[in-house]
Structure 1
């Protein structure tokens, strides 16, 4: 027996399994925008995933993106842009509501308890990384292309990035946050951002195996079943794992980030002399990005270092609310996605020009009560 609950932008399916319990499948279903998240999508995900978390007959959850190009390329930043320009200085009602619900979904996935498998095929960026990071078993494939490229639009790596980027080896998380440089499946495994590498052609076989699994009513037992099943598929795929970049450049990254202050670090990355194409791309992206974001990113990561996940999402909502109310974000989106002239008129030409009090203001709550106080 199969039960489908269908919507246009995101699909929810419940497949009955061999034990009579159910596999819940979420499909992000907007291929034309690389499955970018809208407010409608995250609201429906919050409702359905909350229901699945409570229902004992849902044994396992599987999240994927429609099509072959992307799991999820992020949030629908054009909608956030419209909200920002229509309500300059804020409150930016749509954008701020989107951030709140998106973070609720991300936090819920982290806290589901029961196994959550996320199939990170193709582009996994921004808001897609937020969903991906919450999975208890995160799959990367031969075409996985992950990144937190918010530096290019005057934002910063949110959606829990202030948590998971603080937990990577050495200074790699900080470097990825500052440069927005993409990384692949091998990198994700090294960074601790994925549990297994499985070729994308095995997706249907994995879903069939999950349906054939004799699920238990015990959550711990089901996590063990997922690990055992996915390990088998991963062992069949090892030969296709692409060569990574992050581990090979870890020493260089640590050296670049080991500076006297944030400004010196940013300048070191921008001015690096390397014949490595991946490092060159990282340097060029930071150089073209918002210097306000470049100064905000390390400050945000320091603010959240050691915080639990709940506190991280509350701080991110503060920082994101302040950021979307500031014209730097709208200008970044305009240049990249609206006019597409790729010539943003950033407020500051150099990292050293950014006043410390402007960064402090971004990290300070704009309201008396945090909307995420109840998560």
Structure 2
């Protein structure tokens, strides 16, 4: 993989922050946008801006073709059977809430079980908490191993014949744990449950085959894979989506409206009420083209090398705590002894290095780790080993600064 050539496609990386070349290590929060995505969105607004599925004029036809063309690109990217299974949403959060409202609240009853894990992002905890409260279902957690992984034995013990929904992250946004989602899907199905996968940290970084995983739902956000913000995807098996009720009602998702009753359009449009996120979808299609050109296997290999290199170099720093398993996705979450993560991030920013600090929308996991917050460096296809060296140098400076001050 020619990382230098790839970096040239990301204009935002060519700048200085506080007099230092930018080192962007916060792609788990949002990834930077390559030129093909920026140009695709720009072209839509300059040449093709119109609403979709409505007008018969030329601009409307162009916009519709691009919008639905993006849906087909997503279908191929996820290896889904049909574009009817691809719902455009605002992002992973909206997609998971759609499952929780449109499926869970319709099907769950008292004493049914929803099974999740303590490593989940808040967006994959709160919707299930609310669904459990609304239906009388019970929320259960698969326990974590000491290194932040899940054992299939524990999954088998936790998922029972009373379990109706299993919701789990493909990849933890804090620990970098890559969960065995295919095996957990099999356990869920053996017990008559459906599985919903939070793919926010999975889809941008590795090949996803929803038919091979045999998941019932898969959700991800475009902005974490180089697409614009405000666009995401809910994949669902057609038979499940067909039995679900829409969660938003209005224009575009209807078939027929009478004074006292209405009927809905067929999939996927019954879940896309109102004017959709047209430019975002077109940008997502361009991002998928870009990632496919680089190659998802190449991206995964590059990122795993970066993660291994980062672990090796960061472990040379005295007084650093690193969280998560040895085999992980492309991120390292850590704390420096006696230095608050926000202070770490502030000092690093003075060096031009962008990392995340806080609870990462994973407060139950912070409690499990027995910390209030952490710092996180996350990597993507445009990052280099030299940038990790800059990170390590910055962390050493941070320790020295706080040791001298305090």
Answer whether TM exceeds 0.5 for this pair.
no
Larger radius of gyration: 2
Structure number with higher relative contact order (C-alpha < 8 Å, ≥ 6 residues apart): 2
TM-score computed with the length of structure 2 as normaliser: 0.26
